[in-house]
C-alpha cells in the first residue's frame, strides 16, 4: 500500500483576515481510512472543500490520484464519492428521484446496489426530501456517495443525525470499502468514531495540523475520566502511585480519577474490592489537545 491518493502540500486558506487552514501538509495512502479529527471550526471542512476545488487555496496545493485538484477537478470528481457536512438537496424530489438523477450524472449506477444500501440504512426513498429529518436526509446522501463504488470516498461529519444503529451500519460500510482496497477520508469531531474506523488520524487545531498519528498510538494516549463506586469505603492508599492515573480523589466509597493510556494497572487495583458501578466520561477534544500537544497555536477566529 504505497500509492498516494491524497496529497496536500502547504495548503493554506484565508477568508480575508479570517483563518481557514494554515500550511497543511499530509498524504493519504490507497486502501486506508484516514481520519481528520478536530473540534468544530478547526478547519476540517475548509480542508475538504479546498482539496475538492470547491474553494481555491490562498497558497499551497492539493493533488488527488496524482492529479492537481484545480486543473483536473472534473477527472477527480468522476472517481470520488462525497458527503458534505451541510446538506443542500433538491427538496421537491423524492429520495429515489434524487438518486436516479445523481446516478445519471455519473453515467448510470446499478439500482440493485441503491436498493441494498437503502435497506441497510433504513432509508425511505419514496418520500420527498423536504419531508425528511436531517438524519434521514443524511442517509440519502450517504447512499449517493457509496452507490457507484468510487475509488475514494470523502466524508465530512458523516454520522451527524444518524441514530446509533445506523452509525454501526455506516461503520460496516466503511470497513467494506477498506476491504476492497479503496480509500476513505473522514472528518469528525468524535474521538471514539475515529478510533473505531480509521487507520491513521490527522489532528487539526485552530487551522493547523498538529499531529498525524496511527490509531494505535492515539489509543495509547487516550484520556479517560473514571468514576468507580464500591460497595463500601475503600482506602485511598490502595490507588496511590498507579501509572497513568492523575487527579485521583477517594470519598468514602467513590473513586474519581483521570487515566492516560492503559487502564490495566488501575483495574487490577480496583479488583481487590467489590465494585458496584463504573462510569466513564469521554474528555472533549480540546482537553486532549492541551494535554498531549500543548496549548499554543493560532487564535484567529
Q: Write out the chain's pLDDT in tens, 301 residues.
A: 459 999 999 999 999 989 999 999 999 999 999 999 888 888 999 999 999 999 999 999 999 999 999 999 999 999 999 999 888 889 899 999 999 999 999 988 989 999 999 999 999 999 999 999 999 999 999 999 999 999 999 999 999 999 999 999 999 999 999 999 999 999 998 888 888 899 999 999 889 999 898 988 777 777 788 999 999 999 999 998 898 898 899 999 999 998 887 888 999 999 999 999 999 876 665 666 666 556 544 333 2
Task: For Cα atoms 57, 60, 61, give the angle at the middle one, nearest 5 degrees.
Answer: 85
Q: Say yes or no: domain 4-219 is CATH 3.40.50.300.
A: yes
- Contacts of residue 56, defined as CB under 8 A and 6 or more positions apart, other chains included, come to 50, 70
Cα–Cα dist 164/172, whole Å: 13
pLDDT at 2: 52
pLDDT at 294: 60
The backbone torsions φ and ψ at residue 80, rounded to the nearest 5 degrees and listed phi first, read -125, 165
pLDDT at 125: 96
Q: Taking the domains of the chain in order of start, what are their residue ranges?
A: 4-219, 221-293
Cα–Cα dist 49/12, whole Å: 12
Tell which CATH architecture fits domain 221-293.
Answer: 2-Layer Sandwich (3.30)
pLDDT at 286: 60
Amino acid at each position: 500500500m504505497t500509492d498516494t491518493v491524497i496529497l496536500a502540500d502547504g495548503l493554506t486558506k484565508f477568508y480575508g483576515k479570517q483563518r481557514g487552514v494554515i500550511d497543511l501538509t499530509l498524504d493519504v495512502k490507497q486502501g486506508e481510512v484516514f481520519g481528520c479529527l478536530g473540534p468544530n471550526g478547526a478547519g476540517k471542512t475548509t480542508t475538504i472543500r479546498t482539496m475538492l476545488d470547491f474553494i481555491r487555496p490562498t497558497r499551497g496545493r492539493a493533488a488527488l490520484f496524482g492529479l492537481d485538484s484545480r486543473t483536473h477537478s472534473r477527472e477527480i470528481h468522476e472517481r470520488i464519492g462525497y458527503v458534505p457536512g451541510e446538506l443542500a438537496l433538491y427538496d421537491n424530489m423524492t429520495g429515489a428521484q434524487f438518486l436516479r438523477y445523481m446516478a445519471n450524472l455519473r453515467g448510470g449506477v446499478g439500482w440493485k446496489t441503491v436498493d441494498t444500501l437503502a435497506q441497510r440504512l433504513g432509508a425511505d426513498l419514496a418520500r420527498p426530501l423536504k419531508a425528511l429529518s436531517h438524519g434521514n436526509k443524511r442517509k440519502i446522501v450517504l447512499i449517493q456517495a457509496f452507490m457507484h463504488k468510487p475509488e475514494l470516498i470523502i466524508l465530512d461529519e458523516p454520522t451527524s443525525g444518524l441514530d446509533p444503529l445506523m452509525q454501526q451500519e455506516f461503520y460496516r460500510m466503511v470497513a467494506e470499502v477498506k476491504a476492497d482496497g479503496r480509500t476513505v477520508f473522514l472528518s469528525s469531531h468524535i474521538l471514539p468514531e475515529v478510533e473505531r474506523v480509521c487507520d491513521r488520524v490527522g489532528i487539526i487545531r485552530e487551522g493547523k495540523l498538529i499531529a498525524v498519528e496511527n490509531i494505535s498510538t492515539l489509543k495509547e494516549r487516550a484520556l479517560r475520566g473514571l468514576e468507580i463506586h464500591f460497595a463500601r469505603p475503600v482506602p485511598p492508599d490502595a490507588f496511590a502511585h498507579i501509572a497513568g492515573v492523575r487527579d485521583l480523589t477517594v470519598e468514602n466509597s467513590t473513586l474519581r480519577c483521570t487515566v492516560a493510556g492503559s487502564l490495566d494497572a488501575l483495574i487490577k487495583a480496583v479488583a481487590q474490592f467489590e465494585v458496584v458501578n463504573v462510569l466513564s466520561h469521554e474528555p472533549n477534544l480540546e482537553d486532549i489537545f492541551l494535554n498531549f500537544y500543548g496549548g499554543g497555536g493560532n487564535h484567529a477566529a
